């Protein structure tokens, strides 16, 4: 009984210490840091703690903070907290993205435009409007990907692919929309902007009208499940997706099941270079440092440079042929390199600025 009581006492002391007042990290237990709570007082909290997004709340990226605040590191780089935007990002500079630290607003009426989940950029307002006029790739639940004019469903809009639209990606023979005559996927009906099975809003087909066939039998469920698990997919066919009933595997050992979206994965050749590039960090973003837990590989044309022991940053290579992704490649009075990497295109925004943009994104700004 004494041993048990002693253990409980230790636990109580530790819990109290982890949330007690402090003035410096040395006042806290190992694994805890002295975090400010309201700008005037501080308490010992775990380094993994995340606040409510208000001013002085602990954060890990801009998305953890409320509108008008951004996630900025403390002076000693032991944690980050939500602070007011003391200044806004300038035209063509980064303003957001996964693990991005910095101002989340744009100056001079610029708009913070999302290119990828890891890279947002301050661009002129007309580019954001043009994005709604041009088509945007939209995945349909249980079907392929189509290019649809914005504003799209789930992005402050309701637009979804229409009947007769031809898929631009993720078209496989296993889909009902696939047409053998021309080897293309054509939308069989208007997709609906609805709440999907994963709880988010997106485009999907009418679940009632698109469901055909006899109801599934409930006999011998264990036997059926075991048989399904052994059914690996053939090359280039679907191998996973929401409610996928078969094995998440490929018959060919040289192929692997690659996720395209929440509803479709395909058996594709193993390509280590492509997988690494998908997880790479863009230019001028953090790629290392003490306490950093994100990706450490930079995109093609960039290298990870140590700024100090807490912060490493992806910066353009000097010996690569072509400007790194997202870098300037033209414009009035511009005297630098005008060519881009093979996977990018030098896209003109106006007479003063052109930028190397991945080919997959170019259609959105043309």
Domain boundary among 124, 155, 180: 124
Q: Do residue 157 and residue 233 come from a single domain?
A: no
102 in a structural domain: yes
Q: Comparing 50-64, 132-146, 207-221, which segment has the lowest mean pLDDT?
A: 207-221
* pTM metric for this prediction: 0.29
pLDDT in tens, 64-105: 777 667 777 766 666 677 777 556 777 888 877 776 766 777
129 in a structural domain: no
What's the pLDDT score for residue 276? 42
At a CB cut-off of 8 Å and minimum separation 6, what does 262 contact? 139, 141, 196, 198, 241, 242
Q: Do residue 23 and residue 119 come from a single domain?
A: yes
Question: What is the secondary structure of 120-141 as a DSSP string?
Answer: EEEE-HHHHHHHHHSEEEEEEE
Task: Find the domain containing 195 and state its range.
Answer: 134-204
Q: Do residue 51 and residue 116 come from a single domain?
A: yes
Q: Do residue 34 and residue 118 come from a single domain?
A: yes
pLDDT of 355 higher than 50: yes
- How many CB atoms sit inside 10 A of residue 276's CB? 13
217 in a structural domain: no
How many structural domains are present in the chain?
A: 4
What's the pLDDT score for residue 360? 58
Domain boundary among 124, 142, 172: 124
What's the pLDDT score for residue 15? 40
Report the SS3 class of residue 144.
coil
64 or 360: which leads in pLDDT: 64
Q: Comparing 67-71, 116-120, 167-171, which segment has the lowest mean pLDDT?
A: 67-71
Cα–Cα dist 334/349, whole Å: 14
pLDDT of 217 higher than 60: no
DSSP H/E element including 7: helix 2-18
283 in a structural domain: no
Q: Do residue 152 and residue 74 come from a single domain?
A: no
What's the pLDDT score for residue 17? 54
Q: Do residue 78 and residue 104 come from a single domain?
A: yes
At a CB cut-off of 8 Å and minimum separation 6, what does 197 contact? 141, 242, 243
Q: Do residue 167 and residue 100 come from a single domain?
A: no
Q: Do residue 53 and residue 71 come from a single domain?
A: yes
Q: Do residue 112 and residue 184 come from a single domain?
A: no
What's the pLDDT score for residue 8? 36
Q: What whole-number percentage of the chain has pLDDT above 70?
A: 66
12 in a structural domain: no
Q: What is the mean pLDDT of residues 159-165?
A: 88
pLDDT in tens, 286-331: 788 887 767 788 877 788 888 778 778 787 776 557 887 777 888 8
Q: Do residue 25 and residue 89 come from a single domain?
A: yes
147 in a structural domain: yes
Q: What is the mean pLDDT of residues 104-132?
A: 71
Q: Do residue 237 and residue 139 come from a single domain?
A: no
Q: Do residue 72 and residue 168 come from a single domain?
A: no
Nearest to 281 by CA among 311, 255, 318: 311
230 in a structural domain: yes
């Amino acid at each position: 009984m004494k041993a048990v009581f002693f253990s409980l006492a230790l636990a109580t002391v530790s819990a109290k210490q982890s949330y007690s007042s402090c003035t410096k990290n040395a006042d806290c237990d190992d694994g805890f840091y002295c975090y400010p709570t309201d700008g005037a007082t501080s308490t010992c909290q775990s380094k993994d703690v995340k606040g409510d997004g208000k001013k002085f709340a602990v954060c890990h990226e801009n998305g953890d903070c409320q509108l008008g605040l951004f996630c900025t590191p403390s002076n000693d780089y032991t944690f980050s907290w939500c602070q007011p935007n003391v200044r806004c990002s300038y035209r063509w500079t980064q303003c957001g993205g996964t693990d991005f630290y910095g101002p989340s607003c744009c100056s001079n009426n610029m708009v913070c435009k999302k290119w990828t989940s890891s890279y947002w950029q301050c661009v002129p307002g007309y580019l954001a409007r043009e994005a709604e006029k041009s088509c945007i790739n939209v995945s349909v639940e249980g079907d392929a990907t189509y290019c649809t004019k914005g504003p799209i469903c789930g992005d402050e809009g309701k637009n979804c692919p229409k009947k007769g639209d031809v898929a631009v990606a993720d078209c496989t023979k296993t889909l009902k929309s696939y047409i053998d005559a021309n080897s293309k996927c054509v939308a069989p009906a208007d997709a609906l902007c609805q709440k999907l099975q994963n709880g988010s809003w997106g485009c999907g087909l009418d679940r009632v009208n698109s469901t055909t066939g006899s109801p599934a039998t409930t006999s011998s469920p264990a036997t059926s499940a075991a048989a399904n698990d052994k059914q690996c997919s053939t090359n280039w066919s679907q191998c996973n997706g929401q409610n996928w009933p078969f094995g998440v595997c490929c018959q060919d050992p040289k192929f692997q099941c690659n996720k395209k979206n929440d509803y479709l994965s395909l058996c594709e050749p193993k390509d280590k270079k492509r997988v690494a590039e998908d997880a790479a960090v863009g230019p001028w973003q953090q790629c290392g440092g003490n306490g950093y837990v994100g990706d450490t590989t930079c995109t093609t044309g960039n290298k990870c440079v140590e700024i100090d022991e807490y912060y490493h940053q992806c910066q353009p290579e000097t010996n690569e042929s072509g400007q790194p992704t997202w870098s300037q490649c033209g414009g009035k009075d511009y005297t630098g390199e005008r060519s881009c990497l093979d996977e990018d295109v030098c896209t003109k925004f106006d007479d003063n600025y052109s930028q190397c943009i991945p080919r997959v994104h170019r259609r959105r700004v043309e």
